[in-house]
Structure 1
Amino acid sequence: MTRPGAFRTEDLTVRYGGVLALDSVSITVEPGEFAGLIGPNGAGKTTFIDSVTGYAKASGKVELGGIDVLPLAAHARVAAGVSRTFQSLELFEDLTVAENVLVSTENARWWSPIVEFVRPRTSTMLSSAVEEVLDLVGLTAHLDAYPPDLSLGERKLVSVARALATEPALLLLDEPAAGLDSDASLVLGRQLQSIAERGVSILLVDHDLSLILDVCERINVLDFGRLIASGTADEVRNDPAVVAAYLGEDIDTAEAVR
């Protein structure tokens, strides 16, 4: 369900007036790699996701599979294989889990009704695609349930499933573990690992550093919009620049928020 090719940013820069929110950030996520992005409050983590997905104007390069998607509009980047979640879930409470995911598979254009009339998609085709995605996130048993009947962790996974329904090569997750206790966060992390094992590249932003350090193969660290470190959990944990960025706190327990 994925498209091949590494994800790379080169000198990615975002300015808001006189504020330099991202300063020449270059990050690579290999195909199927589970990477993390952390940093203190205001480091530019969500700005990075916004710039990659077309929600913030940026300069530099954003490449997926060797193709620069930075000139593309947000919806065109989704078609190119870039998908994301948002900090706010905003699920359709009156739709089932399966229907919430199905909505994300729709790519409506003015000519869509004509195409549907000439070459309609069967319910079997639609249900198969939805079931595949729900199986990936472990929610097959809840496809007919409604969001209010789910736990917070399960609702978070519905949000991930909707992003996966676009068949991305790169999935950017913006604080999916927010509000979860440690057990639920661990379950979420293991489920995300299984998705990466299927070939989807993942870049995880979260304030739960225990989660990031536990599940991510490579961790990138931002501070004041600049990339200050990139490496394994042990390399990042012992990097003096990272320790200084967190004001000397143990980064296992320090909070990294937007």
Structure 2
Amino acid sequence: MTANKSGTLYGVGLGPGDPELLTLKAARILQNASVVAHFRKKGRPGHAWTIAMAHVNARATEAAFEYPVTTEIDFRDDAYVDAIRAFYCESAKTIMQHLADGSDVALLCEGDPFFYGSFLHMYDRIRETYPIRVIPGITGMSGCWTAAAAPITYGDDVLTVLPGTLDRTALATHLKNADAAVIMKVGQNLNKIRLALTDAGRVTDAIYVERGTMQGERVVPLAKLDDCAVPYFSIILLPGGRGRRIA
């Protein structure tokens, strides 16, 4: 690579968690990138790094960005918004410095880079200045409905994807008429989601999935799930096919 040529940012989709579900293209990018960047909680190696580490070039530079806040402050709070905005701006500056130096940067993305997640904040800040290539990955929800052995859509079912951060009324409204649904970002929103599903008359159809495709995977009907703390990235499934006809 010539000195005056900038690097390329690769958004590398890692899939739902099982390292064997990484694509061949993602593995190739990780083996060749000069810099491997990822987001993580403070003091943690990070799920993304754990998934990818077997494929990372041993000579690559690791750029780990630690979130200043996660779920301890409501995401609508001004303090959260200010802290996370500043964090993303500084992270983007660091990545752009590597790109300006001519290094290709692989930014690790759990699931798919364009489906929720922190990569989108880097994409919006960098795409006008440096080249970006996105390597798609199997989504977390796909891994979860496979782990649950729950076909999610049949025929002309419409799949609705909802963030659990919506309020109870909004969730219930969407769920009442949904053919099939996936509820993301469960965590502290579990009780509200459970109430919304009850309001919609769908709670007995729902399936709770934690760490789908990974070690410690847990699949249980939501109606049988005890009141307990659950991970933010757990998922609730509402399989479709209610009106399915078998020929």
TM-score over 0.5 (shorter chain): no
| TM-score between both structures, scaled by the size of structure 2 | 0.29
Higher relative contact order (CA 8 A, sep 6+): 1
| TM-score between both structures, scaled by the size of structure 1 | 0.28
